[in-house]
Structure 1
Amino acid sequence: MTDTMIPLSPKQLQSLKEATARINVWEGSVRSGKTIASLVAWLIYVATNKTRGELIVVSRTRDSAARNVFAPLMDPSLFGEISQYISYTSGSAYATVLGRRVWVLGSSDVRSENVLRGLTCAGAYVDEITLLKEDFFTQLLNRLWEGARLFGTTNPDSPAHWFKVNYLDRCEPYMEATNARVLPDWRVWKFYLDDNPQLTEARKDAIRRENTGLFFRRNVNGEWVAAEGAIFDFWDPEKHTIAWDDLPEMRELLALSLDYGTTNPTAALLLGVSAEVDHLGRPAPRLFFVDEWRWDSKLEQAKLTDAELAVKLVAWLNERHLPDNTTMKLTPRFKIIDPSAASFKVQLRKNHDITSTDADNDVLYGIRLMASLISAGALVIARPTPTNPERGCPGFISEAPGYVWDPKATLVGEDKPMKVADHSLDGGRYGVTTTENVWRSYIKIAA
């Protein structure tokens, strides 16, 4: 498109040449160059298309669209002079791409599906297709006007995932020779780490370290494999925890995040961003779960009302959660609560003037994100010490080794954890996922 763009690999150039089908999909490893190739194809389409209707970009949320789609498009180091003709503000309903209005939809937002139902679509770009609900994707296909095209990316998922079974398995080169129900108007290209000419060997090695077990096979090897066994199969308390007394200075406490329970435990964790620097004095922050509060009515032999639970939580929240070697008594910027805990949120607001945010409860996405952070050493969990046995996150640490995939869900193509002893893990997941747009400005991982 312009000689100021980054150079493209032979695989990327081949996909651009062939991306003339109704549906065009780039799949494979993370950071393999598939997103850049798909975005170039999308820009060419936006610049040349005359089909009737609206242009749309779809991602899991509008924030993820800003991060995964528009951040690369607006980066002059990637798209050269073209980047100045693309603008988007995270959370906005639409972007401007090469002078054209492009609607931006978050597939997890029910309002987006309502918008989609009334839309005549001239062209669509879809980020991470497997994170969409099947009925949303089906509706999107139905909204494509004659002559319209869809450009999409995805990482591998379960081999029984609806997208693999209903679509990819009916495309070259995935379909069986005897499969007569082919999709002739689809084109699919599979990418691996070595197909990205911008990745150094050091960066490839980092990506391999940041993905383990299931996520290594999918995100690095590009395999469509089923989830089975331990979720955090890499878990090592020696590597992934730190004594509470040894916590580094925190630049801020990013969030209090809480999983609400009545008969089950209620668990709240504090997520901090460290003020660490590297050997050259450059900022090198990490995320830390610095402290945890739990109320288990069975262990305590006392079932609390929402009002009583709120009083105990607020009393704990007002304690000091960082060791004496830190200089500030910090308070969390966000209070993130389990979306199902409506009555508890009312109590916090009415009686304690605490306004909370509903947690992002995309379970699989949150698990993948938290696993990548922990395995990369970018998220560390504080453990109690003999001098401070009431501090740290013993619930999270005790639950992590037994966190396993549900084999019944795997059989139907879903990745779900067993709902056993996961309350601190859920609370932690809420904090990491809901604040992702904030900590991503400090911390870079492959997820």
Structure 2
Amino acid sequence: MSLSNYLAPKQMQVLHTYLHDDFDMLVLTGAVRSGKTFIDNLLFIFELRRVAQMAKDNHDKHPQYILAGASSDSINKNVIISCENQFGINFKLDRHGHYNLFGVDITPVSTKTLGGLAGARGFTSYGAYVNEATLGVEPVFQEIQQRCSIDGARIIVDTNPDNPEHWFKKDYLDNNKKKARMIQFHFTIDDNTHLSKRYIEGIKARTPQGMFYDRAILGLWVTGEGAVYKDFDERKMMAAKLPPMKKYIAGVDWGYQHYGSIVVFGIDQAGKYYLVEEHSEQYKEIDYWTEIAHKLQKKYGRTMPFYCDTARTEFIDHFTHNGINAKYGWKSVVPGIEIVASLMKQGRFFVKRSAPVKFLDEIYNYQWDDKNEDAVVKKNDDCMDACRYAIASYIHENERKTYHPDSNDREGIMRGMRELGL
């Protein structure tokens, strides 16, 4: 039998690349059950044989190699036991918890927490195999790279996709310079031709459309489970050219140690909302934000409303006293999120490509609190809050013709009392 009886065509491509191309890092990403780990486990065995020969040529009697994964349990299940079952190979385990094969000392490194740094430090490695890379933290991955400093060392990586702003995608896959000598392969479930047609048809039919399907079946890097704005699609909602706008509105989230943020949305004739500008900064005083607001007024109109976080009413007063049309933002979190989310679902939400500062990073990491279904995790939310204040406040005040401001909205309360004749 030939290898083609055991390997799917995509796996054969990977093997051909491994045997014939020059690289320092070989990365396999994509769908579950697509055959990534099987071929990488095979390359792992090939690498250990290659390392054993390199060590012999270097007169090194104790070559070391890194085997990394989210935890010791996942390393054992995904790689060690799988290799033993699939290839009939037995790894020796020493009293230090290291494996040994072909005379190579295989050091396991856990990548899920910074505690894994201790296992990766203090030695030089002939290479590394990193399983489930996106489940690890970046400092440990960096440490593993730095340890593989012997001439000819190579790193094999496999992972399922995560959110598009994940450190592994942004810092490595999207930053693949020629001198990095990194080769990437993308897998879909259809690349595993050893799966039965019945299984593939069934799993496709049973997997919900959207994020789950895009990740599990197509192997795409899309917004993850628990994301607040699951319908945001960077491929469809980023706009290079914008139509004429009939109105501009702004949202303000105050900050200092965490980011403060001012965003501007344009609204076109069709009622579509476009994020046209974002300013997000840390450690800035109110005078800085006042200067930003004045610049935005000159650009988008002096009467443009700034819907502000009511947590700092003195900042809102400062804006007002400086000629800025500052309004108290509508702060009902879940109803406000529902308004923004509905625009995305209706195809009425877009982002100017040049606008984002923190927006893309936050929207993919803005999560519901799994301990409280009516709350969001108070992280990655500064720009998100500013966007919500702008859109939800404006729609609540104008399109719905009713406005129930925050209880601290003195202006709104007085206006309401006057309307009631009090």
Give the TM-score taking structure 1 as reference length.
0.47
Give the TM-score taking structure 2 as reference length.
0.49
| Higher CA-based Rg | 2
Higher relative contact order, chain-length normalized (CA < 8 Å, sep 6+): 1
